[in-house]
Amino acid sequence: MAMVHDPRFVEDVPEGRAAIPAFIVCRNAHLLCASCLGDKRSAWPLSVHDTQCPTCHDEMLKSSQPSRAVVIKLDQYTFLCRYADAGCPWKGQVSQETEHAKKLCRFRFLRCGRCGEQYRAGFALEHNELCTELVITCPEGGADCLGAPRSGMYPRSQADEHAKKLCRNRPCRNFPFCRTRTSAANLVPHEPACTFQLEQQASARQEAATQRTLLAQSHAENATLRERAERVEKALKSASEELDKERTRRRELERECDDLADKLRDEIRRYARLAGRERDGGRGGGGGGERRSRDEQRFAPATRQSWSASRSSSVRDDRWAPVHDDASAYSSAGRSRY
Ligand SMILES: [Zn+2]
Ligand SMILES: [Zn+2]
Ligand SMILES: [Zn+2]
Ligand SMILES: [Zn+2]
Ligand SMILES: [Zn+2]
Ligand SMILES: [Zn+2]
ipTM of this predicted structure? 0.70
> Is the per-residue pLDDT at 19 higher than 80?
no
Q: What pLDDT is attached to residue 328?
A: 46
Which of 13-22, 62-71, 125-134 shows the lowest per-residue confidence on average (mean pLDDT)?
Answer: 13-22
- Residue-level pLDDT at 66: 80
What phi, psi does 117 have (nearest 5°)?
Answer: -80, 155
Q: If you average pLDDT over residues 3-15, what whole number do you get?
A: 65
Q: State pLDDT tens for residues 311-333.
A: 554 444 444 444 454 444 444 44
Residue type, 1: M
Ligand 3 centroid to Cα of residue 289, in Å, is: 153
Q: Which ligand is nearest to the CA of 2?
A: 1
Å from CA of 211 to ligand 6 middle: 28
**What secondary structure letter does DSSP report for 170?**
E
Least confident of 90-99, 107-116, 179-188, 312-321: 312-321
Q: Above 80 in pLDDT, residue 50? A: no
Q: Which ligand is nearest to the CA of 31?
A: 2
pLDDT for the residue 3: 43
pLDDT (tens digit per residue) in 256-294? 999 999 999 999 999 999 998 888 776 654 444 455 555
Length of the chain, in residues? 338
Mean pLDDT throughout 170-184? Answer: 90
CA distance 122 to 90: 14
pLDDT the model gives residue 76: 85
The residues whose Cβ lies within 5 A of ligand 3, an ion, are: 81, 83, 88, 90, 105
- What's 106-125 look like in SS3? CCCEEECCCCCCEEEHHHHH
Please check the confidence at residue 302 and state whether its pLDDT lies above 70: no
Nearby residues of 40 by Cβ (< 8 Å), 6 or more positions away: 32, 50, 51, 60
Q: How far is the CA of 291 from the centre of ligand 4 (A)?
A: 147
Maximum Cα interatomic distance, the chain, rounded to a whole number of Å: 196
Q: Percent of the chain having pLDDT more than 70?
A: 76
5-19, 53-67, 300-314 — which one is most confidently predicted on average?
A: 53-67
Q: How far is the CA of 160 from the centre of ligand 5 (A)?
A: 10
Contact 11, 78 (CB under 8 A): yes
**Residue among 43, 21, 45, 46 at smallest CA distance from 32:** 21
Predicted pLDDT of residue 338: 45
CA–centroid distance, 19 to ligand 3, in Å, is 19
pLDDT of res. 237: 97
- Read off the pLDDT band of 63 (50, 70, 90): confident
* Distance from the alpha carbon of residue 85 to the mean position of ligand 3, in angstroms: 10
Question: Which is more confident, 332 or 188?
Answer: 188
Average pLDDT for 176-191: 91
Cα(115) to ligand 1 centroid in Å equals: 37
How far is Cα 255 from Cα 33, in angstroms, rounded to an integer? Answer: 139
**Listed range (82-91, 124-133, 192-201, 205-214) with the worst mean pLDDT:** 192-201
Residue 75 has pLDDT above 60, yes or no: yes
pLDDT classification of 336: cutoffs 50, 70, 90? very low
Conformation bin of residue 163: beta by default, left when phi > 0, alpha when psi is -120 to 50: alpha
Burial of 14 (0-12, 13-18, 19+ CB in 10 A): exposed
Whole-number Å distance, alpha carbon 103 to ligand 3 midpoint, is 9
